[in-house]
Structure 1
C-alpha cells in the first residue's frame, strides 16, 4: 500500500508538469464521473460526519489514492488503454508463473497452510486477482482482430515490421495469459474464482460467437425452448450444489456471516455503521447471537471475522440503504454507457471485468485487495473515457484563465505533495516500527518501546491496539493493557482482544470484569476451547467451585472441531483441576 501511495505521488508530479506545460487544457466530464463522485462524497460524509466515531482506515487511504488514480486515467487517450490492458495481462502471467514455482517448491508461499499464494497473503485474493486478469486476457484474445486494428490505426509509423509486432504481441500475450492462468486455477481451489471465470467466459464467448442466439434460432417451438432453458437451469443448480458441498463448512460459514450481518443492517438501515467499520461491530453481533441462541451447530463454523465474504452485504452494512441506492445508480450508468463502434471490443472487456469482480465479490472480499481495486478503477476510467455523452471544457493559450489555472494548480499540488509526502513517510515509518514490534523478541521492554513509538500514528487502528494491549498484558502491565484494549474495542473486537482484556482484568484483581471479558470471548466463538479454559482458571483462582465443575465438565464433554495438541493439554489440565475438587471422571 505504501508503494502505491508513493506511486500516486510520482504520477501526481508527472500529471502536474503535463498540465503546466500544456498549451491547451481539456476537461471531459461524463455521467460516470459524476455518479462516482457522488458515491465517494457520500462515503466520506457518512464516515466522518454522520457516524459518531471513525478509526484509522487503510481502505479509506486507498480509496483516496484510487480516486486520484482514476482522475489521472481519465486524461489518458482511449488509444493507450489497449496497452494498459495488455500490461495487466502481463502482470497476471508473472503471478501465474510465480504461483506455479511456489507449487513446485522453488519459492516459499506467503502462508504456512498453502503452497501457492503468488505475492498475496493467501490463495483467495490471489485467485481473485487472477480471475480478473483471466477475463481481460480472454476478452483481448477473442476480440484480438478489433484491438489489433485499433492499435495499428493509431500508430504514426505504419511499417510492416511494427504492424507484425503489434499483431504478435496482442495475439500471443493474451493467449499466454489464458493458458497460464487456466493451469493455476484448479490448484487454488477457490470456488468464487471458478464461478467468476465460468460466467465471464460464457459472457465473452456469447458476445463474440452468439451461441445462445444461434441455438434459439435453431430451436423454434416453445416446448423446445423451454426444454433448453430447463436443461441450462438444471446444470446451473447442479453446479452450485456441487460447489456448495465441495467445501460445505466454508459455505455454511459464509451463510452464517450473512445471517448475522442482516441483524447489523436491521439496526443501522439508513446510513450503516460507516465505511470500513464492519469489523468493529460484527463480532459483537455474533457474540449476541450465540448468547441468545446457545451453542448451535453454527458455532462449528464461527470464527473471528473481518469481512462479510460478500461485498454487497458488507457495503450495505457499512453505508446503509442510501449507499446502496447510489451504488445501483453507478451500476445503471455504467452499463448504459454507449461507445463508438470501433471501441466496442474494449468496452465489452471493461464491462465483463467489472462483472467478474462483482461475481467474485459475492463470495469473497475483492474490495480489500488493492491490485483488484486497481483493475476496477482502470475499467471504470476506460468506460468513462468511452462515454459519448460528455461535458467538455477547453482552456487555450489565448484565454486569460489558463495562466491563472496553471498557477493555482501548481501551487495546490506543491502544497499537497509536501503534505502527502510527510504523511506517507510517517505512515511508512509507523508500519516498519509496528512490524519490528511483531517480530520475535527477547524482552518485553524492547518491543513495548516500539509499540509506544508507533502509538501516536496508529492510536485509532484496532489491530495495532490489539497487539499492543496483548503485549502489555503478557508483560504484566495490567492497568496500561486495560486502557489500550478498551480503546481497541472501539475499532475492532475479536476473541483475542477479549481474552487479553480478561487476563489484564484478572491480573488487576477485577474478577467480575475478567469473567465478563472471557464470557464475551466464548460467546463470540463457542467452538473455541481457550476462553472456556480461561474461565475455569478464573473460577479456580476465586474458589468458585460450582462454576469450576460446570465449566470443566462442559470442556470435557465438548465436541472437537479440529483436534490439536493444545486441546489435549487443556483437557489434561482440567482433569487435574477436577481431581483437586474431588470430582474424578468416569
Structure 2
C-alpha cells in the first residue's frame, strides 16, 4: 500500500473514531426493549462509516481481496433478500432493514480495516472503554449508587436486562484479555525504551495506537468485567468467556504444548491435576444447570421446537420475522400430538426469540440459511484465531453467547457482532508479521474487485441508507405516539386506541404488542371481525396464546362456535400449564349447551395445579368448582358468560 501524508492518516483515524463513537454510544442506551430514537443515531453512525469508507476507497485505493467470509456474507444477503420478497410477513420489512444495516456496516468496516492498519487498534480501544463504562455502571448498581433498568434485577448496566448486559460484557472481556496478551510485551518494551531515551515519543500516534492504549484499556476492561460478570448470573456469558479465553490460551500461550511437556516431566501429578480439573469443570457445569434448572429445561424445549420448525420447513423456512408465530404453532402441534412429560408442560412459554440465533435464523430462512450463517461465523472465527486477532477470540465468545440467548434482537449486541465479524475477517492492513502467522498483503489481482465491486457495494449501501433510515424513523415515531395513546387503556377509553391504531397500523405491523393492544381495543369496542383480522396478523409474529383467547371471544360473540373452540384449543396447547384458555373453553361449552364437554373441561381446570398460582387462577378454579357443584344438583342452566 502506498504511503500517505501523516495528516491524512490522522484525519482518517479521527473520523473513524467519531463514526464508531456515534455508532455505539447511542445504541448502548437501551433502558427498554422497544424501538427508540437511539436506533436513528446508530443509523447515522453507519452512514458516517459508509461515507468514510467511500472516501478512503477513492483516495487511498486499498487492495481488498474477497475471502470466504465475504462470499458467505454475499450469499446470505442474497438469500435473505429472496426470502424477504418471496415469503412476506408483517415483520419482514423491519427485520430486513436490520439486516441491511448490518450488511452496510460489514462492507464499510471491511474496507476501513484493510485500508488503515491502526483502525483495528483504535476500535479495540473504544470497545474496551465501552466495556469499562458498562462494568463500572454495573458495579455502581450492585452497591446501590444508581438504579438498574429492571425492577427484578440489580445489574443491567445501561441495558434493559442482565442477559443482554452480560452478552455485551463477555465478548469485550475476551477481546480485552486478547489485547493484553498481544500488546503487553510490546507496551512494556515501548515504555522502557521510549521513557528512558525519548519520553515525548510516547505521544506519537503509532506508539499510542500500536500497543500502549489497547493494553491499558484492555487491563481496565478485563479487571472490571471479571468483577461484574458473575453478578449478572448469566451462564451463557460465563460459558462464552470460558470458551474464548480457553481458545486464547491454546492459541497464544501454547497451553497444549506446555501441558504435554509438563506431563512428560511429571506424568502422575499432571494426570491427577488434569483429572481434578475435569471433575471441577463437570461440577461447575452441573451446578450451572441446577442453579436455574427451570430456565435450562425451558431452553432445551425451545431448542427442540426450533429444530422441529427447521425440519418441517427445510427449504425456505417460516420467513423473516415470522419465527415467533411459527414457534407458537409448532409448540401447539407438539403438545397436541400426544401426552408430554409434565416437566415440559410447566416450562413451556411464549418466547419472542429462539434463544439460539443460529437455529432461529435457520427456522426463518431454511437449512441453506442455517448452513451459510454457520459458515460465515466459522470462517471468520478461524481466520481471526489463525492470525491471533483479538476480534477472532471476541467473535468466538459472541457466537457461543448467541447459541444460548437472543443477542441479535438487541441493537448494541447486533452491532458488536458485526464489528467482531468484520474485524476477524479482515487481515491487518499495510503490515506483515514474521513467523508462522505471516499475513501477506493482497496481490494486485484484487484490482478488479477494488475498482468495480467495492465501489458498487458502497454505492448500493449509500443508496439504500435513506430508505432504511426513513422507515426506521417512521417506526420509532409511531411507537412513541402509541406509547402516549396506550395510557388511555387503563381508563377504558378504547375508542381513542381504535382511532389512533388504524392510523399507526401501516408503521407498526411488525410490533406484536401494538397489534394485541389494537385488536383488544377493537374487541372491547364491539368490532369483532376487524379485531380478529388484527389479532390474526399478530398471531403470525407472536407465540402468545392471548391472541387466540381474544379471537375465541370474538368468535363467540359472532356466534361462530366451532371457530371459537378451535381458537381456545390453540391457545391451550401453546402453553398447556395456563388454565385461562381452558376456563374460557368451559364457559364456551356451557353457553353453547355442551354440558358433558363443559363439565370435563371444568374438572381439568379445577384439578390442575399451575406452576405459578395467583388470585386470578384461584378465582377461576373456584368458579369451575362451583360449576361442578351445581351440576351435581341438576342440569346446567343456559347462562351466558359474564
> With structure 2 as the length reference, what TM-score do the two structures score?
0.79
1:72 match: 108
2:352 maps to 1:306: yes
1:123 match: 162
1:57-94 CA-partner distances (Å, limit 9, x unpaired): 54322211121112222232131211211111111222
Q: Distance in 2 between matches of 1:338 and 1:116?
A: 32
2:614 match: 564
2:244 match: 200
2:368 maps to 1:318: no
User: Judging changes above 3 Å, is the alpha-carbon distance between structure 1 residues 464 and 380 closer, same or farther for their aligned structure 2 residues?
Assistant: same
1:442-494 CA-partner distances (Å, limit 9, x unpaired): 31122222211210122355443233212222333212211211222333342
User: Judging changes above 3 Å, is the alpha-carbon distance between structure 1 residues 264 and 422 closer, same or farther for their aligned structure 2 residues?
Assistant: closer
Equivalent of residue 76 in structure 2, options 35, 39, 61: 39
Secondary structure class of the residue paired with 2:264? coil
2:211 maps to 1:172: no
Q: Distance in 2 between matches of 1:90 and 1:409?
A: 31
Secondary structure class of the residue paired with 2:505? helix
Q: Distance in 2 between matches of 1:306 and 1:554?
A: 28
Q: Distance in 1 between matches of 2:373 and 2:461?
A: 30
User: Judging changes above 3 Å, is the alpha-carbon distance between structure 1 residues 415 and 195 closer, same or farther for their aligned structure 2 residues?
Assistant: closer
Q: Distance in 1 between matches of 2:411 and 2:162?
A: 15
Q: Is 1:148–1:170's contact at 8 Å kept on the other side of the alignment? A: no
Q: Distance in 2 between matches of 1:529 and 1:365?
A: 28
Secondary structure class of the residue paired with 1:28? coil
User: Judging changes above 3 Å, is the alpha-carbon distance between structure 1 residues 67 and 27 closer, same or farther for their aligned structure 2 residues?
Assistant: farther
> With structure 1 as the length reference, what TM-score do the two structures score?
0.86
1:373 match: 414
TM-fit CA distance, 1:498? 0.7
Q: Is 1:302–1:525's contact at 8 Å kept on the other side of the alignment? A: yes
Q: Is 1:436–1:450's contact at 8 Å kept on the other side of the alignment? A: no
Higher mean alpha-carbon deviation, 430-439 vs 181-190, is at 430-439
Q: Distance in 1 between matches of 2:443 and 2:483?
A: 48
Unaligned stretches of 5+ in structure 2?
1-34, 429-439, 635-642
1:334-389 CA-partner distances (Å, limit 9, x unpaired): 2453899xxx55x1x11111110121122212222221222222222223331646
Secondary structure class of the residue paired with 1:173? helix
Higher mean alpha-carbon deviation, 371-380 vs 524-533, is at 371-380
2:128 maps to 1:93: no
Secondary structure class of the residue paired with 1:491? coil
TM-fit CA distance, 1:30? 2.3
1:398 match: none
2:30 match: none
Please provide the CA RMSD for this pair.
3.5
2:525 maps to 1:475: yes
Q: Distance in 2 between matches of 1:366 and 1:410?
A: 27
Q: Is 1:30–1:390's contact at 8 Å kept on the other side of the alignment? A: no
- Number of aligned residue pairs: 568
User: Judging changes above 3 Å, is the alpha-carbon distance between structure 1 residues 470 and 150 closer, same or farther for their aligned structure 2 residues?
Assistant: farther
TM-fit CA distance, 1:557? 1.1
User: Judging changes above 3 Å, is the alpha-carbon distance between structure 1 residues 107 and 57 closer, same or farther for their aligned structure 2 residues?
Assistant: farther
1:8-55 CA-partner distances (Å, limit 9, x unpaired): 345525743774695454451320323321222222223423x36563
User: Judging changes above 3 Å, is the alpha-carbon distance between structure 1 residues 227 and 371 closer, same or farther for their aligned structure 2 residues?
Assistant: same
Q: Distance in 2 between matches of 1:323 and 1:409?
A: 21
TM-fit CA distance, 1:523? 0.7
**Which residues in structure 2 correspond to 1:84-483 (within 5 Å)?**
84-145=123-184, 148=187, 159-162=200-203, 169-220=213-264, 231-294=276-339, 296-297=341-342, 298-337=344-383, 344-345=387-388, 347=389, 349-386=390-427, 388=440, 390=442, 416=464, 418-441=466-489, 442=491, 443-459=493-509, 461-483=511-533
1:153-176 CA-partner distances (Å, limit 9, x unpaired): 9xxx98245269777643433222
Unaligned stretches of 5+ in structure 1?
396-400
Secondary structure class of the residue paired with 1:425? helix
TM-fit CA distance, 1:129? 1.0
Secondary structure class of the residue paired with 2:244? helix
TM-fit CA distance, 1:533? 1.6
Q: Is 1:503–1:514's contact at 8 Å kept on the other side of the alignment? A: yes
TM-fit CA distance, 1:413? 7.7
Q: Distance in 2 between matches of 1:222 and 1:380?
A: 41
